[in-house]
Amino acid sequence: MLYVVTGGACSGKSEYAERLAMSKRTELGGGLYYIATMRAEDNESLERIASHRQRRRGKGFETIECPYDISSVKIEKNSVLLIECMSNLLANEMFIEKNMVSDKKDAIEHITEPIIALSQYNCVIAVTNEVFSDGMSYDTMSMKYIELLGFINSELSAYSDGVFEAVCSVPIAIKGELQC
């Protein structure tokens, strides 16, 4: 199973993804994992990490830090993995980890294929950010990042069982039916 949860900043996508993950864990009975992709590099990222950890406290998530190389995640079958989020994972792989991802072929090899492989025996919930809605133009490298994130979102969504967008903390089904 694969679900994609998207939305703008502070839209409620993380909260919905967590509810969905806990709901799916009840169905599958396996482990419940939060795959954290944000690198703690400054006060803002540290505050966001602390906020997310506080919100997950007591919900049964085991956190796995994985800021890049999602294929390194090894867990038992029939688990639920909440991967938060594609924008951090892509940024880390494009700009920090020796340019692991620089084009669509790399994005497939390093991000979408490993996530799809994980979803073969588990429930994967991939959180991502909405892109291209602001109508802005950016520098060349930023546009390449935005285009690759849009490509990753499209690839995962095409394969997924459901795509949900959080708008003002209200989940809306784009593909499939709301799960919780």
Q: Where are the domains of the chain?
A: 2-175
Angle at 107 between CA 105 and CA 38, to 5 degrees: 165
% of the chain surpassing 70 pLDDT: 99
CA dihedral 62, 92, 4, 156 (to 10 degrees): -130
| CA gap 102, 57 in Å, rounded | 36
Q: Choose the weakest-confidence range: 39-43, 109-113, 149-153.
A: 39-43
Q: Label residue 57 by pLDDT band (50, 70, 90).
A: confident
pLDDT digits (tens, 9 = 90+) for 4-56: 999 998 899 999 999 999 999 999 989 999 999 988 778 887 887 787 778 88
Report pLDDT for 23. 96
Pick the CATH number of 2-175 from 3.20.20.80, 3.40.50.1860, 3.30.70.260, 3.40.50.300: 3.40.50.300
% of the chain surpassing 90 pLDDT: 78
Higher pLDDT, 174 or 180: 174
Strand 162-167 relative to strand 170-175: parallel, antiparallel, unpaired?
antiparallel
Higher pLDDT, 52 or 77: 77
**Tokens matching residue 88:** 């951090």
Mean model confidence pLDDT for the chain: 93
Name the nearest CA neighbour of 163 among 120, 110, 126.
Answer: 126
Tell if the pTM clears 0.75, that is, is over it. yes
